[in-house]
Amino acid sequence: MSQQMWEERYSSPGRVWSGQVNPWLVEAAEPLPAGKAYDLGCGEGADSVWLAQHGWQVEAVDFSPSALRAGARAAQEAGVSDLLTWTEADLTRWEPMAPADLVLLHFLHAPEAVVSGVLQTAWRATGAGGTLLVIAHDPSNLTEGNGKGPQDQSVLYDSASILRALELTTQDPGVRVAERRRRSSAAGDWLDAIVIAEKSS
């Protein structure tokens, strides 16, 4: 799951992902007024472009230059380039320049210490009153879902693991969603771990 591996994958012909916005993002973001957003590990930028189309000012961050170029092309085709900034950075070293109203961290699968550190950075990047949305392939996807995605159980995590890394619990008033959800796609049904948390201060 190295930077080189992802760069090789994104530099190959054709899209790696569907180009469609994640439905859990639509659910989380539609009720919110447009503001500033970070899309961490943005890949080819489908979620970033969707946010920009809905008035958000987005900084999209990824360590693959090819992924960022694909995202920039998609933004240009959608006519929203002026609302997007594409930042090449390793999320283990990236720090926000300013807090955001919405922070996305979707499908970052890496060793627990890496994921925990990036989750804490994402929470720091979330401003007061802002929302953090974390989506991951739940470990049960291997046996109860379509079985696709990362095959190494050690890089998969559930919503409880996400909350522990954020030092939150389901009893915290800002935790709006912390659960496993089924998502249908052309590749079959996925089981996703979802956390949506609003930061009070």
Q: Compute the distance between CA of residue 201 and CA of residue 198 in angstroms, rounded to an integer.
A: 9
Q: How confident is the model at residue 31 (pLDDT cuts 50, 70, 90)?
A: very high
User: How large is the average pLDDT for residues 95-103?
Assistant: 97
Nearest residue to 162 via CA among 127, 123, 134, 189 = 134
- Report the percentage of the chain scoring pLDDT > 90: 87
62 pLDDT band, cuts 50/70/90, is: very high
Tens-digit pLDDT profile for residues 80-92: 999 999 999 999 9
Q: Is the pLDDT of residue 126 over 90?
A: yes
The pLDDT, as a whole number, for residue 136 is: 97
**In the prediction, which pLDDT does 185 show?**
86
- What percent of the chain has a predicted confidence (pLDDT) above 70? 99
19, 74 contact by CB (below 8 A) = yes
- At residue 1, does pLDDT exceed 70? no
pTM for the predicted model, two decimal places = 0.95
* Confidence band, pLDDT 50/70/90 cuts, at residue 12: confident
Model pLDDT for residues 127-178, shown as the tens digit of each residue: 999 999 999 999 999 999 999 999 999 999 999 999 999 999 999 999 999 9
Provide the pLDDT for residue 176: 97
Nearest to 51 by CA among 88, 69, 78: 78
In this predicted structure, the answer to whether residue 17 has a pLDDT above a threshold of 80 is no
Domain 3-198 falls in which CATH fold? Answer: Rossmann fold (3.40.50)
For the chain, domain boundaries: 3-198
Mean pLDDT across the chain, nearest whole number? 94
Rounded to whole angstroms, how far apart are CA atoms 82 and 195? 30
DSSP per-residue letters across 156-174? ---HHHHHHHHT--TTSTT
- DSSP, res 152: -
pLDDT interval class at 15 (50, 70, 90): confident
Q: Quick one: pLDDT at residue 192? A: 97
27 or 5: which leads in pLDDT: 27
> Count of CB atoms within 10 A of residue 32's CB?
15
